């Protein structure tokens, strides 16, 4: 397939293809981060993760409209406000859900699966009733659209750069929180041994609530960012949930590093295979690879060593 | 859920009465009572359908919940509008249409079950419904077994023709061939890159497109690719296309993937004013979600655009907006759904009977001059003769008509040389 092309052409395509892989990697990390925190630290399988993302996307949509109507001068920067709004909305809802629903089910992990799945259906229908069944279009300020020409043949997507930057930032913040803050210390203690941490005076309920809220909040930010590259509709969350679980489970549920490594593996193989084969085949081969590796390493790529 | 709930059409205003009359001007305004007496119930209904001296019941069967609600909402709205307008003009054979709406819930077995309920329990005289091919395939045996009449609005892949179905959308050849001919002639296109979501409609359609490009136009297909439904990452294939440099990108991507595809195409610096792109899966409805600025300049091949400039369409668009809100948009399928109740009414009046067999037999040749897309006529194979049109996307989400076939295109659900 490369016979007819000059070396320069091929080189630029390879660069852009590498960049496409990096964008996919950032997208995967961003969507998996919130779930990894909740699933990894609390053992709760949050099937409504995608819907928390879409809540963030809808908040972005609302913010853009409000900004257009009441403060058109600030339109260029509305996206940053929108991400905050998304974080607060999804996070608050997360706290509420944890308090009303999840905390009663900690000893029954399979029931949380059912309960959060039910929650996802409720949220989907709520979106549909509020915003209508059709997808909504989220407009971007002009500076975020299009691409930067690096050379005459290499172009780099601006929104791709934005997503990458955001991913790095959020990952860094989460890593800091988990490994450098008092809250993170307590979270890790609770993961290691819930009963002992309780006995040592850690308020495990409060930790759980904050963890769940933070996970949902990050999902909201991810959803907000994805309005740049994907669709915003009542059921759009379902588009992301499978890939998200794939990344988290493959990475080893309790490890931040594992999530990142797994996102890298899956995104690179997906985008490379997609280039040489077709979209459907790439998906098939990626899934086969993941299944194969999980058979060899059932705990995922990275396992946190804990005495049980 | 709305199962079994009965909806009565609204009482129309004088303005709608006028619009209704404008949309359809044959033999109107006969006092309903008189017509009904002319056609006694015992005579026009020999098979026990839900027809009384004053009323006839039909079914509306679409998804208003679940994934497909996005697409099917417009069809439901169009069908309700048509029914309301028909009632405002005196109904069908002097009888007002009453409808029972059922929710298929985006679930194919549910469609079959609800279809059976409408036919067996409610004895409806016809059903306007279904959207995806999967839902149509699920209800088809029910309609054939219990002898019902289905008016199906969506453009689809063809390879089907049933006595019990009237297909008011285009089958694949009607949507594809004229568009490809146009893009060759007008744009001098020599090479094509075919894309699609991975299921039967895009695959069958691209197969027809490929045969037409290679065997009839003697041009070249550089690549053909499919993506799982719900795929959201298109950067790799966009790079591939940048390398292959096709004259035309031919895209049949659906649902949420559609939005992701056009946003990423735009972000990757592909300017649709320079790169010709043709799609058969993006109507005005979809642009709402994609955002006009992401697809401006792209071409769509349909039979109807909201912007069509004819008196029928003007009346239709303003009545639709009046009923469902200024901000609603009308896509190809919504218009096709609007044809369903009208074609049924015309057929019943031609047959002089509500009996399914007589309606099915009377269908070929029925013409609807008030169609927003212009004149349509039912073919022997129960599809519609209609024109193929090419539109160019504007930033505001509407299409500018750039081409329409001079003649009506013949529906050909089993095209020879394309299989």
Residue A176 falls inside a structural domain: yes
Q: Nearest by CB to A137, from B232, B239, B289: name it.
A: B289
Residue B377 main-chain phi, psi, to 5 deg: -145, 145
Q: What is the mean pLDDT of residues A241-262?
A: 83
Collapsed DSSP state (helix, strand, coil) of residue B51: strand
Confidence band, pLDDT 50/70/90 cuts, at residue A307: low
Is B267 close to A271, i.e. CB distance below 8 A? no
Euclidean distance between CA atoms B142 and B106, whole angstroms? 17
pLDDT of B407: 92
Model pLDDT, residue B199: 84
* Separation in Å, CA of A95 to nearest CA in chain B: 27
Nearest CA in chain A to B194: A278
* Residue B15 in tokens: 């303005």
Q: What's the pTM value of the predicted model, to 2 decimals?
A: 0.82
Strands (E), chain A: 147-149, 155-157
Cβ proximity of B115 and B60 under 8 Å: no
pLDDT of residue B296: 93
Q: Does domain B172-302+389-404 have CATH number 3.40.50.2300?
A: yes
Query: Do the Cβ atoms of A273 and A232 come closer than 8 Å?
Result: no
Distances (CA, A) of A164 to A19, A170, A226, A255, B257: 10, 10, 12, 21, 21
Per-residue tokens: B371: 């169609």
| B297 contacts chain A (CB < 8 A) | no
Q: Is residue A89 helix, strand or coil?
A: helix
A90 CA to chain B: closest CA distance, Å? 22
- Closest residue in B to A275 (Cα–Cα): B236
Residue A221 lies in a domain: yes
For residue A43 the two structure tokens come to: 């053992």
Q: A interface mutation test: which of B2, B68, B70 has the most A CBs within 10 A?
A: B70
Give the CA-trace dihedral at B280, B283, B287, B289, to 10 degrees. Answer: -100
Classify A174 as helix, strand or coil: helix
Contact map slice: A 109-148 vs B, CB within 8 A: 125, 128, 132-139, 145-147
What residues of chain A lie within 8 A of the CB of B259, using their CB? Answer: 135, 230-232
Alpha-helical runs (H) found in B308-380: 311-324, 332-351, 356-362
Facing B70 at nearest CB: one of A133, A270, A278: A133
- Specify if A195 maps to a domain: yes
Is A164 a member of any domain? Answer: yes
Length in residues, chain A: 308
Our CA-based measurement puts residue A77 at a distance from the nearest CA of chain B, in whole angstroms, of: 19
Residue B375 and residue B369: Cα distance in Å, rounded? 5
Tens of pLDDT along chain B (419 residues)?
Answer: 333 333 334 444 444 444 444 444 444 444 555 677 788 888 899 999 999 999 999 999 999 877 677 778 899 999 999 999 999 999 999 999 999 999 998 888 999 999 999 999 999 999 999 998 889 999 999 999 999 999 999 999 888 999 999 999 999 889 999 999 999 999 999 999 999 988 888 998 999 999 999 999 999 999 999 988 778 888 888 988 988 889 999 999 987 788 889 988 988 888 899 999 999 999 998 888 888 889 999 999 999 999 999 999 999 999 999 999 998 999 999 999 999 999 999 999 999 999 999 999 999 999 999 999 999 999 999 999 999 999 999 999 999 999 999 999 999 999 888 87
- Mean pLDDT, residues A77-81: 87
Question: What DSSP element (H or E) covers B277?
Answer: strand B276-279
Nearest to B266 among A125, A145, A278 (CB): A145
Contacts of A51 in chain B (CB under 8 A): none
Domain count, chain A: 1
CA–CA distance, B389 with B302 (Å, rounded to integer) = 5
A294 close to A266: Cβ distance less than 8 angstroms: no
Q: At what angle do helices A78-100 and A204-226 cross, to 10 degrees?
A: 140
**CB contact (8 A) between residue B70 and residue A135:** yes
In this complex, which of B66, B198, B255 lies closest to A280 when CB atoms are compared? B198
Which of left, alpha, beta for A24 (phi over 0: left; psi -120 to 50: alpha)?
A: alpha
Please give the average per-residue pLDDT across A231-260, as a whole number. Answer: 83
- Specify the domain boundaries for CATH 3.40.50.2300 within chain B: 6-169+308-385, 172-302+389-404
In a domain, A291, yes or no: no
Q: Residue A269: inside a domain, yes or no? A: no
User: CA-to-CA distance for A189 and A304, rounded, in angstroms?
Assistant: 13
Residue in chain B lying closest to A129 (CA): B65
Determine contact: A270 vs chain B, CB below 8 A. yes
A274/chain B closest Cα distance in angstroms: 6
> What confidence score (pLDDT) does residue B22 get?
46
Residue A137 to residue B288, Cβ atoms within 8 A: yes
CB contact under 8 A, A235 and B73: no
Tokens at B240, concatenated: 């591939």
CA distances to A130, A168, A240, A249, B58 from A165, rounded to whole Å, are 32, 5, 20, 25, 56
Give the single-character DSSP code of B218.
-
Nearest to A274 by CA among A47, A12, A24, A9: A24
- Residue B100: beta bridge partners? B6, B59
ipTM: 0.78
Q: Which two tokens stand for residue B124?
A: 């409806």
Residue of chain B with shortest Cα separation from A234: B67
Q: Which domain holds residue A178?
A: 8-240
pLDDT of residue B110: 94
User: Of B260, B217, B214, B182, which Cα lies nearest the Cα of A57?
Assistant: B260
Q: How far is CA B46 from CA A301, B49, B355, in A?
A: 70, 8, 7
Nearest-CA residue of chain B relative to A131? B70
Beta-bridge mates of residue A65? none
* CA of B88 vs chain A CAs: smallest distance (Å): 29
- For chain A, give the mean pLDDT: 85
Return the closest-CA partner of residue A157 out of A16, A271, A13, A11.
A16
The residue ranges of DSSP E strands in B164-239, in sequence order, are: 165-167, 191-197, 220-227
Judged by CB atoms closer than 8 Å, whether chains meet at B230 and A238 is answered as yes
Asked if the C-beta of A158 comes within 8 angstroms of chain B's C-beta atoms, the answer is yes
Chain A hits for B65, Cβ within 8 Å: 125, 128
Three-class SS of residue B308? coil
Round to whole Å and give the CA distance between B402 and A178: 59
Tokens representing A164? 């990458």
CA of B232: which chain A residue's CA is closest? A230
Kindly tell me the burial class for residue A184, based on how many C-beta atoms sit within 10 Å of its own C-beta (0-12, 13-18, 19 or more). middle
* Confidence (pLDDT) at B317: 96
| A13/B66 touch (CB, cutoff 8 Å), yes or no | no
Which of B236, B255, B256 is facing A274, going by the closest CB pair? Answer: B236
pLDDT at A305 (0 to 100) = 61
Cβ pair A137:B230 closer than 8 A = no
For domain B6-169+308-385, give the fold: Rossmann fold (3.40.50)
User: Is B291 near chain A, with CB under 8 Å?
Assistant: yes
pLDDT value of position A306: 56
- Residues A14-44: tens digit of each pLDDT: 888 888 888 888 888 988 888 888 887 777 8
**Higher-scoring residue by pLDDT: B29, A240:** A240
Q: Once rounded to an integer, what is the mean pLDDT over residues A148-176?
A: 85
Asked if A263 has any chain B CB less than 8 Å from its own CB, the reply is no
Residue pair B202/B281 in contact by the 8 Å Cβ criterion: yes
Phi and psi, residue A231, nearest 5°: -100, 155
For residue B327, the model assigns a pLDDT of 87
A118, part of any domain: yes
B239·A17 Cβ contact <8 A: yes
Facing residue for A275 by CB, picked from B240, B259, B267? B240
B290 inside 8 A of chain A by CB: yes
State the pLDDT at residue B4: 38
């Amino acid at each position: 397939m490369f016979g007819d092309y000059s070396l320069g052409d091929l080189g630029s395509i390879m660069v852009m293809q590498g960049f496409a892989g990096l964008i996919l990697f950032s997208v995967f990390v961003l969507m998996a981060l919130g779930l990894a925190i909740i699933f990894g630290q609390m053992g709760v399988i949050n099937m409504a993760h995608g819907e928390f993302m879409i809540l963030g996307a809808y908040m972005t949509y609302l913010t853009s409209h409000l900004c257009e109507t009441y403060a058109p001068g600030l339109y260029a920067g509305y996206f940053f406000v929108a991400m905050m709004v998304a974080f607060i909305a999804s996070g608050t809802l997360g706290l509420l859900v944890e308090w009303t629903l999840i905390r009663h089910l900690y000893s029954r992990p399979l029931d949380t699966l059912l309960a959060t799945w039910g929650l996802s259906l409720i949220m989907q229908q709520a979106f549909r009733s509020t915003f209508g069944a059709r997808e909504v279009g989220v407009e971007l300020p002009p500076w975020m659209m299009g691409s930067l020409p690096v050379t005459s043949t290499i172009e780099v997507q601006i929104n791709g750069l934005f997503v990458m930057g955001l991913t790095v930032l959020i990952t860094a913040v989460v890593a800091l929180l988990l490994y450098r803050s008092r809250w993170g210390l307590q979270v890790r203690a609770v993961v290691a041994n819930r009963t002992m941490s309780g006995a040592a005076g850690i308020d495990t309920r409060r930790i759980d609530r904050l963890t769940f809220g933070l996970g949902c909040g990050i999902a909201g930010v991810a959803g907000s960012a994805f309005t740049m590259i994907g669709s915003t509709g009542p059921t759009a969350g379902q588009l992301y949930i499978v890939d998200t679980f794939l990344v988290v489970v493959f990475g080893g549920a309790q490890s931040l590093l594992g999530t990142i490594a797994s996102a890298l593996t899956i995104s690179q193989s997906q985008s490379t295979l997609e280039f040489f084969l077709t979209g459907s085949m790439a998906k098939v081969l990626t899934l086969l690879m993941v299944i194969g590796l999980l058979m060899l390493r059932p705990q995922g790529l990275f396992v946190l060593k804990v005495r049980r | 859920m709305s199962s079994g709930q009965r909806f009565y059409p609204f009482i129309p205003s004088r303005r709608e009465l006028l619009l209704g009359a404008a949309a359809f001007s044959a033999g109107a305004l006969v006092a309903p009572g008189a017509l009904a007496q002319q056609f006694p119930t015992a005579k026009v209904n020999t098979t026990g359908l839900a027809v009384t001296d004053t009323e006839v019941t039909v079914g509306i069967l679409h998804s208003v919940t679940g994934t497909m609600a996005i697409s099917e909402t417009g069809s439901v709205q169009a069908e309700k509008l048509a029914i309301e307008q028909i009632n405002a003009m005196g109904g069908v054979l002097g009888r007002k249409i009453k409808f029972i709406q059922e929710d298929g819930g985006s679930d194919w077995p549910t469609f079959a079950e609800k279809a059976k309920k409408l036919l067996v329990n409610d004895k409806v005289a016809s059903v306007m419904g279904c959207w995806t091919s999967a839902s149509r395939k699920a209800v088809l045996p029910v309609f054939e077994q219990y002898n019902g009449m289905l008016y199906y609005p969506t453009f689809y892949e063809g390879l089907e023709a049933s006595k019990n179905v009237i297909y008011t959308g285009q089958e694949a050849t009607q949507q594809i061939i004229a568009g490809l001919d146009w893009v060759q002639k007008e744009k001098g296109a020599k090479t094509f890159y075919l894309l699609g979501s991975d299921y039967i409609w895009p695959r069958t359609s691209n197969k027809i497109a490929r045969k037409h490009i290679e065997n009839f136009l003697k041009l070249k297909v550089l690549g053909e690719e499919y993506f799982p439904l719900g795929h959201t990452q298109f950067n790799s294939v966009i790079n591939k296309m940048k390398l292959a440099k096709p004259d035309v990108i031919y895209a049949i991507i659906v649902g949420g993937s559609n939005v992701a595809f056009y946003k990423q195409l735009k972000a990757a610096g592909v300017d649709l004013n320079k790169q010709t792109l043709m799609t058969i899966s993006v109507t005005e409805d979809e642009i709402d979600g994609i955002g006009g600025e992401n697809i401006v300049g792209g071409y769509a091949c349909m039979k109807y655009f909201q912007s069509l400039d004819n008196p029928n369409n003007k009346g239709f668009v303003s009545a639709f907006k009046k009923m469902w809100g200024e901000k609603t948009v009308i896509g190809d399928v919504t218009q096709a759904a609007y044809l369903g109740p009208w074609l049924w009414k015309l057929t019943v009046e031609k047959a002089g009977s509500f009996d399914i067999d007589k309606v099915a037999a009377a269908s070929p040749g029925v013409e609807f001059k008030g169609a927003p897309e212009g004149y349509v006529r039912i073919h022997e194979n129960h599809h519609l003769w209609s024109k193929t049109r090419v539109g160019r996307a504007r930033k505001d989400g509407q299409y500018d008509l750039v081409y329409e076939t001079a003649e009506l295109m013949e529906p050909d659900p089993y095209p020879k040389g394309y299989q």
